[in-house]
Structure formats: structure tokens, C-alpha cells
Structure 1
Amino acid sequence: MGKEELRKGMLLSLEEIGWIKRNQTENDLQDHLFDSLLWNEADCIGVTVSSEREWDTRTIIEKAWEEGKRVCVPKSDHQTKGLDFYELTSFNQLEKGYFGIEEPLPEKTKRLNPEEIKLLIVPGLIFTPAGYRIGYGGGYFDRFLSDFKGPTVSLLHSNQLVDSFPIEPHDVPVGFLITEEGIQKATLVN
């Protein structure tokens, strides 16, 4: 089964999660993130602004602001298929971008160097225990992660964790996975 079929199947599966279970899962994911050393040691968080079908990140962004952390969100460059991160201090600094994703307005925000990001929360749909992920397509995050040296984590429901899928040479795993059950270091299997 190819990545596109896996994506479609997981999107359907996630749509079947009821509102109450979804809300509880988001609360659990956020609690595990906020209790982690990864979060507590980071003064600058890189994170996407979630769409309706993704796990909520607006609460995460608000919590970071409340704790005095810097928050930066990506803006995609469709010519290079790269990402640039901009510091966000208000949701008013966002606009609908590519695929309806909320992205920062460069004229209202400051671009940050990747080294300034002390924890990057990476979106995705399907994950392996080794931290490999199938995202929403385009490879933007894999390109960014190929040079990013800071800690990375993804938030997912345990149903999004699968034993394996075909790994491509450009795929870059995240370092940690947070499910409703807790946080785990991604483990490469020999």
C-alpha cells in the first residue's frame, strides 16, 4: 500500500473518533507534553497552527505564551518546498496560506534561525515506533528536518502508530512520540 492510500485510510479513521474521545485525547497529549523535560527546558517552541482535522495546537501556543516561551510557526516556500519559521506573538499575525493552512504574515512577524528553536513539534498522520512519519504530502518538514539539530516530537493518537511503512531515503524521523498514553523516545529497530 502506498503513502497516499495510507494517508486516506488514516484520515478516515481519525474522522471516526467522536468529539468526547477527541477532546480527552487532546487533553492527554497536552498534559504529557507540558509535563515533559522537552517542553520545560525549551524557551522557543516551533509548531504549526493546527487545522480542524489535526490535534489542537492553539492551546499549546497559548500555554507557551503564558509561560513566557517564544513561539514560531512555519511559512512554506512553494518554489523551494522549504519552511521558514517566524515568531508569533498573536493569532492576528496569521493568514490562510497554501491548502488553507494558517501561516505567519512575514511583514508582521520576525523570521527566526532554526538554531533558535529549542523544541519542534512536527505534524503527521501516521508514525512508526522509530519516529518515521507520513505527513500530509509535499515533504516540507522532511526537508527542514534534514538540517535541524534540535529535539523533535510529534503528537498522535496510539491508533496512528503502525509497525512499519515503506521508508524513503529523504524521510527523517522525529526523536519523540507523545500519545494519549505518554511520551516515548523513538526507537530505531535494527
Structure 2
Amino acid sequence: MNKKKLRDEIKQQLASMSRPIYEQESFEIAARLYALPDWQNANMIAVTVSADFEVDTWQIIRSAWLAGKRVCVPKCYPGTKEMRFYQLNKFSDLETVYAGLYEPILQEKRYVNPKDIELMIVPGLLFNREGFRIGFGGGYYDRFLASYIGQTISLAFSIQIHPCIPVDHYDIPVQKIVTHQETIIC
């Protein structure tokens, strides 16, 4: 099955998840994440601001702030397919961009050097147990991860774990996947 068909299928499944199940599983995934040494030891955490059907990262950003951690979020540059991270100090530093996604309002003083990011929470739609993922199709994360040296974790609902996803030579696996039921070491 090709990536586009897999993307479309999982988006439909995620969109049909009931709000109570979504909230409960997002909460359990976050709790499992907070128990990991990767989270506890990281001072600078990179995370995307979740869309409605993704594991809720708004609560994760709040928890990071409460724990005194610094948070940075990505800004994508479609012309070059580059992604840069900027420190997020408050939600009002976000703006809506294409497809209703939230990105940081640009201020160069908040640019974060990739080598300062200790933990990157990598988004995706589908994952296999080896850590390979199907993202949203832009290739931003695979390009960024090619030279990133910190820890990588993805957060996923159990329906997003799929045994057969196509893997290309440029795909870069994450080190761990956290679901509400388990932490998968890839």
C-alpha cells in the first residue's frame, strides 16, 4: 500500500476517535513520556504544536513550562524544505499558517541552534516498531533528523502502530515511540 493511501486511512481513523478516548489516551501517553529519563533530563525540548487529530502536545508544552524546561517549535520554509526551531515562551507567540497549523511568530532572538535541542518529539501519522514513520509528506523531519544528534521520541495512539509501512532510503527512524499502552524502544 502506498504512503498516500495509508495517510488518508489513518487520518480518517484518527478523526473518528471519540473525544473522551482521545483525551484519555493523550493523557496516558503524556504521563508515560514524563516518566522517561529522556524527558526528565532534557532542558530544551522540540515539539510541534498538535493538530486536532494528533496526540495532544499543548498539554505537553504546558507541563514542560511548569517543570522549568524550555520549549521550541518548528517553522517550516516550503521554498527550501528547511525547518528551523524557535523558543516558545507563551502560546500567544504562535500564528496560524497553511492548513490551520500553528508555527512560531518569527523573532530571530528566539532561534534555537539544533545542537541545543536535547529531546525532539517527532510527529507522524503511522509508525512501525523499528521507529520508521510516515509523516505528513513534506520530508521536513527526515531532512532535519539527518544531522540531529539528540534524543528522538514519537507519540502515537495505538492505532498508529502499523507493521507494514514503506521505508525509503532517506527515512530516519526515531529512537522510541510512546503509546498509551507501552514505550517501544526502536
Which of the five TM-score ranges fits, normalised by the shorter chain? over 0.9
- Which amino acid in structure 2 is aligned with residue 158 of structure 1? S
2:130 alignment partner in structure 1: 130
**Alignment partners' CA distance in 2, 1:17 and 1:106:** 34
Q: Could you report, residue by residue, the CA deviation over 1:134-176 in whole angstroms, capped at 9, with x for unpaired residues? A: 0111111111111111000000011111112221111111010
Which residue is equivalent to 2:112? Answer: 112
Cα distance in 2 for residues equivalent to 1:172 and 1:91: 30
Quote the Cα distance in structure 1 between the aligned partners of 2:97 and 2:108.
15
Q: Kindly provide the CA deviation profile for residues 70-118 of structure 1, in whole angstroms up to 9, marking residues without a partner as x.
A: 0000000111101100001011111112322110111275101101111
Work out the CA distance in 2 between the residues paired with 1:108 and 1:50.
Answer: 23
What one-letter code is carried by the residue in structure 2 that aligns with 1:85? Answer: F
Root mean square deviation, CA, Å: 1.1
Counterpart in 2 of 1:153? Answer: 153
C-alpha distance in 2, partners of 1:28/1:57?
Answer: 12
Give the corresponding residue for 1:72.
Answer: 72
The CA distance in 2 between the partners of 1:84 and 1:78, in whole Å, is 12
Could you say which residue in structure 2 is the equivalent of 1:60? 60
Q: Which amino acid in the other structure matches residue 146 of structure 1?
A: A
> 1: distance between equivalents of 2:115 and 2:164?
31
The verdict on how the C-alpha distance between 1:109 and 1:50 changes in structure 2, with shifts beyond 3 A counting, is farther
Unpaired runs of 5+ in structure 1? none
Matched residues in 2 for 1:33 and 1:8: separation? Answer: 27
SS in structure 2 of the partner of residue 106 of structure 1 = coil
Number of equivalent positions: 186
Please report how far the alpha carbon of residue 29 of structure 1 lies from its aligned counterpart in structure 2 after TM superposition: 0.3
**Aligned equivalents of 1:101, 1:75: Cα separation in 2:** 10
The code of the aligned residue for 2:106 comes to P
Q: Which runs of 5+ in 2 are unaligned?
A: none
Partner of 2:177: 177
How far, CA to CA, are the matches of 2:98 and 2:116 in structure 1?
A: 25
CA contact (8 A) 1:124 1:135 kept: yes
Give the Cα–Cα distance (whole angstroms) in 1 for the partners of residues 43 and 107 of structure 2.
23
Normalising by structure 1, what TM-score? 0.95
Report the Cα distance in structure 2 between the residues aligned to 1:109 and 1:32, rounded to whole angstroms.
Answer: 33
